[in-house]
Amino acid sequence: MIVNNRIVPATNEMIKFSCLNFHYSKSIPCGRKMAFAIFEEEIFTGVIIYSTGANNNIAKPFNLKQGEVIELTRVALKTHKNPVTYYLSKTINLIKQLSPKVQIIVSYADIDHQKHFGKIYQANNWLYLGVSETSDKQYYFKGKWTHQRTLNNYSHEFMSKLPVRKNSNKHKYIFCMNKKLRKENIKLSKPYP
Task: Note the pLDDT tens digit of each residue in 55-101.
Answer: 788 899 999 998 999 999 999 999 999 999 999 999 999 999 999 99
pTM: 0.82
49 compared with 112, residue with greater pLDDT: 49
Q: Which CATH number fits domain 5-130+170-188: 3.30.470.20, 3.30.420.40, 2.60.40.740, 3.40.630.30?
A: 3.40.630.30
User: What 8-state DSSP symbol labels residue 66?
Assistant: B
Q: How far apart are CA 65 and CA 57, in angstroms?
A: 9
pLDDT score for 112: 56
Strand 33-40 with 43-51, pairing: antiparallel
pLDDT tens for residues 115-158?
567 899 999 999 999 987 665 666 777 776 676 666 667 777 77
- Euclidean distance between CA atoms 69 and 86, whole angstroms: 22
Q: Report domain extents, the chain.
A: 5-130+170-188, 134-168
Determine the pLDDT at residue 160.
73
CB atoms within 10 A of CB 146: 18
Sheet of strand 5-9: strand arrangement? 5-9, 33-40, 43-51, 69-77, 104-110, 170-176, 127-132
User: Which class for 88: exposed (0-12), middle (13-18), buried (19 or more C-beta within 10 A)?
Assistant: buried
